[in-house]
Amino acid sequence: MICLGIDFGTTSWGFGAGDTITMTTQALCAVKADQGSPSWQEIDRLVSQWMPETIVLGYPLKADGSRFKLTDLVDRAAQELRQRYPKIAVVLADERLTTVEARDNLFTDKGFKGLEKGRIDAESARLILHHWFEASQI
């Protein structure tokens, strides 16, 4: 089963893709957003290209499990994804510390050159999906 991972942001959404059979994930790209509203044409293109059965949307929570203001925007994004793509399951996945881990991975791999925002967002999306695969034991 093919899945898309999304790292929601107010200025861009990061995307990753993965396959539950091989348990592999890859960072794809970042799509620009304006106050959390993305370019839906770009997302439609990604959905058409990858044809996922599931979209895994990173869900921001504080270390103690409480909500951020951003969490409300993610709830709205999840609802919009469900309305736009009714045949695709949209699930929420804990995204705590994925950005920190993404930065570490990219810095280790590419040094400071790897720390471009779009790469960080895409790597964060890949990690959200990877961690969801591990937690779900698909």
What pLDDT digit, counting tens, does each position of 58-81 carry? 998 888 888 888 899 999 999 999
Do the beta carbons of residue 106 and residue 127 sit within 8 Å? Answer: no
Reported pTM: 0.86
Owner of token pair 């869900």: 59
In whole angstroms, what is the distance from residue 78 CA to residue 76 CA?
A: 5
Percentage of the chain lying above the pLDDT 70 cut: 84
Q: Give domain limits for the chain.
A: 2-136
Do the beta carbons of residue 8 and residue 58 sit within 8 Å? Answer: yes
**CA nearest to 5, candidates 23, 21, 24, 27:** 27
Tell me the residue type at 8: F
Owner of token pair 């993610």: 74
Tell me the residue type at 74: V
What CATH class has 2-136?
alpha beta
